[in-house]
Chains A and B, each alone.
Chain A
Amino acid sequence: MRLSEPRLLIDINHVAVLGGIEERGGALRIGALARHSEVGASPLVARLAPLVHQAIPHIAHPAIRNRGTFGGSLAHADPAAELPACAVALDAVLLLASRRGERKVAARDFFRGIYATALAPDEIVTAIEIPPAPAGGRSVFLELARRRGDYAIAGLAAAARPGDLRLVFFGVGDRPIEAKAATAALQREPAAGRVAAAQAALARDLDPPGDLQADGATKLHLARVLLGRAAAALAA
């Protein structure tokens, strides 16, 4: 249907070094070619990056999860996709390679806008490294989509480590957005009223553009609902 007309298509499926899921140097390393279904079924991912494990079932449908890759989702950088938000929430690092060599870019610096990333034209994502979830860590993944598997109207990837909380929203901006004002409000003392305060503060973090499913105000409302639910789940 000519939605995309590439002049050249290179099949990288046979490049073995791009695959695999392993624990390396204390971090979880997921190869760019790892399929969503493989990531979702990995006990290693479930243990070291439970947020990713929780997110995988929200990605499209089994047929797509059997083909779609971890690196592909990150490089595509759809602002409503699940894995970019997880990568940011987990302080992941992307490994990029070109003929010029390899480099590492933090996920929070990688996403630059709608389908826009820090990748140079001659670069590919080779793997992602995720710091392992610490003891006592919690994570919550929430997504609102019209149908199971659709892109999110609003979504939230939340990772709590002792002394640290990350709330990364997706589907509500041009890239995954870390809600710093809401996070600060949620961590303030005393606890009473802080969820409402965080929900109010979210307006400082997010200014969602409208899309076919909802206008910006509706998306902000839905993000606030997700924030409240995540806070309740993290506190439970």
Chain B
Amino acid sequence: MSERPLSFLDRPNSYIGRSVPRPNARRLLQGRGTYVDDIRLPRLLHAVFLRSPYAHARIAGIDTAAASRLPGVVRVVTAADLAGLYTPWVGTLSHLKGLKSAPQHPLAQGRACWQGEPVAAVVAESRAQAEDAAAQIAVEWQELAPLASAEAALASGAPAIHAALGDNLAFARAVDTGAVDDAFARADAVVAETFTFARHTGVCLEPRSILAEFDRSERRLTLHCSSQVPHMMKEIAARHFALAETDVRVICRDVGGSYGIKIHVYPDEMATIALALLLGRPVKFVADRLESFVSDIHAREHRVAARMAVSKSGEILAIDIDDLTGIGPYSTYPRTSAIEGNQVVNLTGSWYRCANYRARLRVAFQTKPPMSQYRAVGHPIACAVTEGLVDLAARAIAMDPAELRRRNLIADDAYPCTSPAGLIFEKLSHQRALARMLELMDYAGLRREQAALRARGIHRGIGLASFVEITNPGPAFYGVGGAPISAQDGCTLRLEPGGAVTCAISITEQGQGTETMVAQIVASVLGVALERVRVVTGDTERTPYGGGTWASRGAGIGGEAALQAAKALRANILDLAGAMLQAAPADLDIAQGWIVDAVSGARRIGLDEVGRAGYFRGDTLPPGIQPELVATRHHQPRDYPFAFTNGVQASWLELDIETGFVRLLKHWVVEDCGRVVSPLLVDEQIRGGVVQGLGGALFEECLYDGEGQLLNGTLADYLVPMAGEMPDIEVAHVMTPLAGTELGAKGAGEAGTAGAPAAVMNAINDALAPFGATVAEQPFTPARILRALGRT
């Protein structure tokens, strides 16, 4: 595995690499979690938003008089009422050259640009009273022409959604390595396809929620919110409401899923903060499921025209892509909405040796809800385009698709290397992962089974998809562009008098098991039992400063901070124990809560005795000893901009050619996220990610009509993937520990989502092959498959 000594990781009682029960599972399963909606404060008020029913309309007038008179109503506000309480925000980053956007406000300023944009707010003693009143607000609308599709928005002569920006092109980027046309000209085969990816959204069990409490006496703002980024939210609130940074506290108790939905600044949440400032009473806003569909960020919506050139011998010679994506009327603050397209350009083809690459990206404003980062940002698109082309190329030169991959995947001994678009890969394991996959799934056996069944009229397909995943981003991702988004995280550990350990860490828990993973590292390095470690997350006043949880960075960055903090606290504990025992600290160790002799393992004194001496019985210590039973360490990636992971997924499915229905039979993932701290949690992250990817591939789609109206904004009509349709998902790992950290962990949160749609697409097209049909429009609905088969 690794050549480096890994003493803390390999100790006999290490929890690293073991699956353990989750300490917070009991509380959550017993219904004792505390979500924002569970928090009830004295004098609490409830905010409800009136949202635009139109995709694009001018607000000629708003009459709030009737609503204001209803029982329980404290205040009805429109944009003008909040003026002066905040400064507007603009979703640009300086390193995304040319990215433009318009200022955003908590409530629409005389014009709504998407169906769902908040227009007015009601604050009342109860949610029901606020809803009653919102229904009585009379808005005089003047409809404007919607620009629902990205194509329409960029058509020549299309009116600019924001006149001051001149046009609707938010961002554009081009990459050209130079000899692309030559490579296509000398190719034995050229394949082309236009891949489309429906707009979809994240569906969190806990909707977006915020409770803002403003203490006028001290001008202190406390936000209880369902967020992945408490410190960023603190920074944003201080900045835009002109508060001292020390006067804002953000508390995120339990968070019911996030998937990237909860890393953005939303107008309704900013309005809730403004209302708390305005009224001097705590105000709560919890999005209901219907408004979540039109106010949470959406994702994807790409159309990628792509070509690949290949030689007869199976060498990929060139890739050429043109991506058009629609992001709604604003680039989302502060991460922007250009990252997904940018990732498509960066990632496409990057796991193959192909040196000739040309890409064009256009990011368009349109009158739909804002689109921004959602789990696996850009990866599912780049992966489906690349892997779809590889399968088409394999078919064109009559080569087995696994073999074509084997011939072109970057060799495992070729690292470090740089991709045509400039990505730097430290060390990946594509070849090993592919070999492991072919063995795991019994590729040859499946091909035989497929052929036998095909002869009986049963049409099954096999799809492969190799991929890379961006994890552990450094400051080059956002910080360099001016966003208050930290790429580092910190961990503070404190030995308690009784020998337990309190751990405060800036990465966050939203149900994925962060606290368990951190506790495993801390307990292993410190030599204490897992249940003796209490992990605290999600509170800007109780944890060190850090970025939070996004971009698959929790284990790689937060985990390393925890490991280093544990080493530091361990050294402090051994210093004190050495003084107590008149021994050299280097001759001592900690194991199972005891100070032990490092060589013999013989128990000397318990950690409780060290704690008691340190905190209560300083009188027993030698002169000059000042016990320091707390330690803090931070970590941020410095060696590489990102820690890439890699892997390969495979899908085995059955296609009913009469109905166009797809039945997923089995899914495999082989991936390399470096050191696996907690196998169960990693595997479930992978599985959950696969399920979200399968959702995009087969089910999820925000259906809009030409007027920019969402047609399926309920959970009855918007199809999230459900257990009944999911296949068994088998996960295996190749482990290439990350250099530059002691833990060696890379991220695992998005790999499943990155590769699953491509694997399913290729499997469907494999099943369709005897009919000369292909599909490239996600989600692959029965109707689209039947159309490809020419049956309707």
Instruction: State which of A1, A149, A218, A228 has its C-beta within 8 Å of the C-beta of B786.
Output: A218
Known contacts A147-B725, A212-B712; is-contact A1 B289 (Cβ 8 Å):
yes
> In the complex, what's the smallest C-beta–C-beta distance from B665 to chain A, in angstroms?
15
Known contacts A2-B131, A212-B717, A214-B783; is-contact A149 B659 (Cβ 8 Å):
no
- B658 contacts the other chain (CB 8 A): yes
Q: Mark A208-234, 1 if CB is under 8 A from B, else 0.
A: 000011110110011001001000000
> In the complex, what's the smallest C-beta–C-beta distance from A133 to chain B, in angstroms?
28
- For A214, list chain B residues within 8 Å (CB): 781-783
Instruction: State which of B131, B289, B703, B719 has its C-beta within 8 Å of the C-beta of A146.
Output: B719
- For A1, list chain B residues within 8 Å (CB): 288-290
**Is there an interface contact between A221 and B722, defined as CB atoms closer than 8 Å?**
no
Q: Mark A1-13, 1 if CB is under 8 A from B, else 0.
A: 1110000000000
**Is there an interface contact between B131 and A148, defined as CB atoms closer than 8 Å?**
no
**Is there an interface contact between B711 and A149, defined as CB atoms closer than 8 Å?**
no
**Is there an interface contact between A221 and B699, defined as CB atoms closer than 8 Å?**
no
> In the complex, what's the smallest C-beta–C-beta distance from A223 to chain B, in angstroms?
11
- For A150, list chain B residues within 8 Å (CB): 719
- For A228, list chain B residues within 8 Å (CB): 658
**Is there an interface contact between B791 and A221, defined as CB atoms closer than 8 Å?**
yes
Q: How far is the CA of A221 from the CA of B288 in the complex (A)?
A: 38
Q: Which of B739-792 contact A (CB under 8 A)?
A: 781-783, 786, 791-792
> In the complex, what's the smallest C-beta–C-beta distance from B84 to chain A, in angstroms?
33
- For B781, list chain A residues within 8 Å (CB): 146, 213-214
Known contacts A213-B781, A221-B786; is-contact A149 B131 (Cβ 8 Å):
no
**Is there an interface contact between A144 and B659, defined as CB atoms closer than 8 Å?**
yes
- A77 contacts the other chain (CB 8 A): no
- A153 contacts the other chain (CB 8 A): yes
Q: Which of B135, B659, B725 has the most chain A CB atoms closer than 10 A to its own CB?
A: B659
Q: How far is the CA of A144 from the CA of B288 in the complex (A)?
A: 30
**Is there an interface contact between B782 and A225, defined as CB atoms closer than 8 Å?**
no
Q: Mark B665-702, 1 if CB is under 8 A from A, else 0.
A: 00000000000000000000000000000000001000
Q: How far is the CA of A99 from the CA of B73 in the complex (A)?
A: 41
> In the complex, what's the smallest C-beta–C-beta distance from B92 to chain A, in angstroms?
35
- For B624, list chain A residues within 8 Å (CB): none
**Is there an interface contact between A146 and B658, defined as CB atoms closer than 8 Å?**
no
Known contacts A1-B289, A212-B717, A221-B786; is-contact A144 B792 (Cβ 8 Å):
no
- B241 contacts the other chain (CB 8 A): no
Nearest B residue to A216 via CB reads B792
Nearest A residue to B289 via CB reads A1
Q: How far is the CA of A135 from the CA of B329 in the complex (A)?
A: 66
Q: How far is the CA of A2 from the CA of B791 in the complex (A)?
A: 41
Q: Which of A167-192 contact B (CB under 8 A)?
A: none
- For A2, list chain B residues within 8 Å (CB): 131, 135
Instruction: State which of B131, B714, B792 has its C-beta within 8 Å of the C-beta of A217.
Output: B792
**Is there an interface contact between A149 and B703, defined as CB atoms closer than 8 Å?**
no
Q: How far is the CA of A11 from the CA of B792 in the complex (A)?
A: 47
> In the complex, what's the smallest C-beta–C-beta distance from B167 to chain A, in angstroms?
33
Nearest A residue to B698 via CB reads A146
**Is there an interface contact between B786 and A212, defined as CB atoms closer than 8 Å?**
no
Nearest A residue to B723 via CB reads A148
> In the complex, what's the smallest C-beta–C-beta distance from B88 to chain A, in angstroms?
30
- B661 contacts the other chain (CB 8 A): yes
Q: Which of B712-744 contact A (CB under 8 A)?
A: 712, 714, 716-717, 719, 721-722, 724-725
- For A147, list chain B residues within 8 Å (CB): 699, 719, 721-722, 724-725
Q: Which of A134-163 contact B (CB under 8 A)?
A: 144, 146-151, 153
- For A151, list chain B residues within 8 Å (CB): 716
Nearest B residue to A211 via CB reads B717
Q: Mark B481-517, 1 if CB is under 8 A from A, else 0.
A: 0000000000000000000000000000000000000
Q: How far is the CA of A101 from the CA of B782 in the complex (A)?
A: 48
> In the complex, what's the smallest C-beta–C-beta distance from A59 to chain B, in angstroms?
14
**Is there an interface contact between A144 and B722, defined as CB atoms closer than 8 Å?**
no
Nearest B residue to A226 via CB reads B659
Q: Which of A68-113 contact B (CB under 8 A)?
A: none
**Is there an interface contact between B290 and A225, defined as CB atoms closer than 8 Å?**
no
Instruction: State which of A212, A215, A222 has its C-beta within 8 Å of the C-beta of B659.
Output: A222
Q: How far is the CA of A148 from the CA of B289 in the complex (A)?
A: 21
- For A225, list chain B residues within 8 Å (CB): 658-659
Q: How far is the CA of A112 from the CA of B358 in the complex (A)?
A: 59
- For A215, list chain B residues within 8 Å (CB): 783, 792
- For B716, list chain A residues within 8 Å (CB): 151
- For B786, list chain A residues within 8 Å (CB): 218, 221
Known contacts A212-B717, A217-B792, A225-B659; is-contact A146 B724 (Cβ 8 Å):
no
> In the complex, what's the smallest C-beta–C-beta distance from B588 to chain A, in angstroms?
57
- For B131, list chain A residues within 8 Å (CB): 2
Nearest B residue to A214 via CB reads B783
Q: How far is the CA of A60 from the CA of B661 in the complex (A)?
A: 19
- For B714, list chain A residues within 8 Å (CB): 3
Instruction: State which of A148, A153, A212 has its C-beta within 8 Å of the C-beta of B711.
Output: A212
Instruction: State which of B288, B699, B721, B783 has its C-beta within 8 Å of the C-beta of A218.
Output: B783
Q: Which of B340-398 contact A (CB under 8 A)?
A: none
Q: How far is the CA of A2 from the CA of B712 in the complex (A)?
A: 16
Q: Which of B215-274 contact A (CB under 8 A)?
A: none
Nearest B residue to A150 via CB reads B719
Q: How far is the CA of A214 from the CA of B661 in the complex (A)?
A: 12
- For A218, list chain B residues within 8 Å (CB): 782-783, 786, 792
Q: Which of B158-189 contact A (CB under 8 A)?
A: none
Known contacts A215-B783, A221-B786; is-contact A146 B699 (Cβ 8 Å):
yes
**Is there an interface contact between B288 and A212, defined as CB atoms closer than 8 Å?**
no
> In the complex, what's the smallest C-beta–C-beta distance from B417 to chain A, in angstroms?
43
> In the complex, what's the smallest C-beta–C-beta distance from A145 to chain B, in angstroms?
9
> In the complex, what's the smallest C-beta–C-beta distance from B135 to chain A, in angstroms?
8
**Is there an interface contact between B722 and A148, defined as CB atoms closer than 8 Å?**
yes
Q: How far is the CA of A221 from the CA of B785 in the complex (A)?
A: 13
> In the complex, what's the smallest C-beta–C-beta distance from B733 to chain A, in angstroms?
31
Q: How far is the CA of A153 from the CA of B712 in the complex (A)?
A: 15
Nearest A residue to B290 via CB reads A1
**Is there an interface contact between B783 and A212, defined as CB atoms closer than 8 Å?**
no
**Is there an interface contact between A148 and B725, defined as CB atoms closer than 8 Å?**
yes
**Is there an interface contact between A144 and B661, defined as CB atoms closer than 8 Å?**
yes
Nearest B residue to A5 via CB reads B135
Nearest B residue to A221 via CB reads B792
- For B783, list chain A residues within 8 Å (CB): 213-215, 218
> In the complex, what's the smallest C-beta–C-beta distance from A236 to chain B, in angstroms?
17
Q: How far is the CA of A148 from the CA of B721 in the complex (A)?
A: 10
> In the complex, what's the smallest C-beta–C-beta distance from A150 to chain B, in angstroms?
7
Nearest B residue to A153 via CB reads B782
- For B289, list chain A residues within 8 Å (CB): 1
> In the complex, what's the smallest C-beta–C-beta distance from B779 to chain A, in angstroms?
10
- For B135, list chain A residues within 8 Å (CB): 2
- For B290, list chain A residues within 8 Å (CB): 1, 3
Nearest B residue to A215 via CB reads B783
> In the complex, what's the smallest C-beta–C-beta distance from A168 to chain B, in angstroms?
19
Nearest A residue to B135 via CB reads A2
- For B711, list chain A residues within 8 Å (CB): 212
Nearest B residue to A210 via CB reads B783
Pairs across A and B, CB under 8 Å, 30 listed: A1-B290, A2-B131, A2-B135, A3-B714, A144-B659, A144-B661, A144-B782, A146-B719, A146-B781, A147-B699, A147-B719, A147-B721, A148-B724, A149-B722, A149-B724, A150-B719, A151-B716, A212-B703, A212-B711, A212-B712, A212-B717, A213-B783, A214-B781, A214-B783, A215-B783, A218-B783, A218-B786, A221-B786, A221-B792, A222-B782
Known: A218-B792, A225-B658, A228-B658. 15 other contacts (CB 8 A): A1-B288, A3-B714, A146-B719, A146-B781, A147-B699, A147-B719, A212-B712, A213-B781, A213-B782, A214-B782, A218-B782, A218-B783, A221-B786, A221-B791, A222-B782
Spell out A's residues near B (CB within 8 Å): 1-3, 144, 146-151, 153, 212-215, 217-218, 221-222, 225, 228
Nearest first, the 10 closest Cβ-Cβ pairs linking A and B are: A148-B724, A225-B658, A214-B783, A218-B792, A218-B783, A221-B792, A1-B290, A147-B722, A217-B792, A1-B288
